[in-house]
Amino acid sequence: AQKVTQAQTEISVVEKEDVTLDCVYETRDTTYYLFWYKQPPSGELVFLIRRNSFDEQNEISGRYSWNFQKSTSSFNFTITASQVVDSAVYFCALSERPWGGAQKLVFGQGTRLTINP
Amino acid sequence: GAVVSQHPSWVICKSGTSVKIECRSLDFQATTMFWYRQFPKQSLMLMATSNEGSKATYEQGVEKDKFLINHASLTLSTLTVTSAHPEDSSFYICSARSGIGNEQFFGPGTRLTVL
């Protein structure tokens, strides 16, 4: 069965520091998608990225970057020069059978990130 | 981008009453909708998957007679919490997937408090 583990329950850093959120996943499928979502205090999930299992290229979007390593089943998320507005709970998620099928999302436990001024 | 709405955004009810939560895809047709539940400081847990015009598929441990799901049209799914109790108090989030792409779009969530 699929599983997503975010070992860091809470992280607290000072503004402008870089911070990396870890995500390790388990799946028996060779075809799957990985996601990161941000959940601010309002509760609404904000989509950050989707990466399919065939694309191991790292991605950078502004201050955000993602490192996907199939060899270690990890999909880590780094925020560079963190800002107070980055404070939120971040979830990593896995979806199997992306083409057809139920495409259920399995979420990690979440990492609560606090950026202090 | 695709928009999914939920109504109400929050609801407080007395124990024993039933509460209906609506999930609508506003600018696309959703062949599949998902209902998640999130307890305070916990992760999202999938409750059920519903396909338009057919019965919902419930995850293990979710009582289908307590959490009634109806997906009568391609833009609307409803979750009814029947005979709600305080332990049902939670944040309920729906998501919708169109038949064309594989994107899953989330609603803003509904916070249910049962007194």
Q: Which residue has the higher pLDDT, A31 or B35?
A: B35
Q: What is the mean pLDDT of residues B71-90?
A: 94
Contact flag B91-A47 (C-beta cutoff 8 Å): no
Distance of CA B52 to the CA centre of its chain: 14
Q: What is the mean pLDDT of residues B52-81?
A: 92
Contact flag A108-B43 (C-beta cutoff 8 Å): yes
Instruction: Report whether pLDDT(A64) > 90.
Output: yes
The predicted pLDDT at position A9 comes to 96
User: Given CB atoms, is B97 within the 8 Å cutoff of chain A?
Assistant: yes
Per-residue confidence at A49, pLDDT binned at 50, 70, 90? very high
E-state strands within B39-84: 44-51, 57-58, 67-73, 76-81
Instruction: Report whether pLDDT(A58) > 70.
Output: yes
Per-residue confidence at B77, pLDDT binned at 50, 70, 90? very high
A-chain residue closest to B50, CA distance:
A102
Best B33, B43, B45, B50 residue to mutate vs chain A (most A CBs within 10 Å): B43
Contact flag B43-A109 (C-beta cutoff 8 Å): yes
CB pairs under 8 A between A and B: 47
The first and second tokens of residue A82, run together, are: 């963190």
Q: What angle do CA B9, B76, B100 make, to 5 degrees?
A: 115
Q: Which of A31, A43, A54, A26 is nearest to A110 (CA)?
A: A43
Q: Report phi then psi at A18, rounded to 5.
A: -85, 145
Residue-averaged pLDDT of chain A: 92
User: Given CB atoms, is B111 within the 8 Å cutoff of chain A?
Assistant: yes
Per-residue confidence at B99, pLDDT binned at 50, 70, 90? low
The answer for A 13-72 residues in CB contact with B (under 8 A) is 33, 37, 42-45, 47, 50
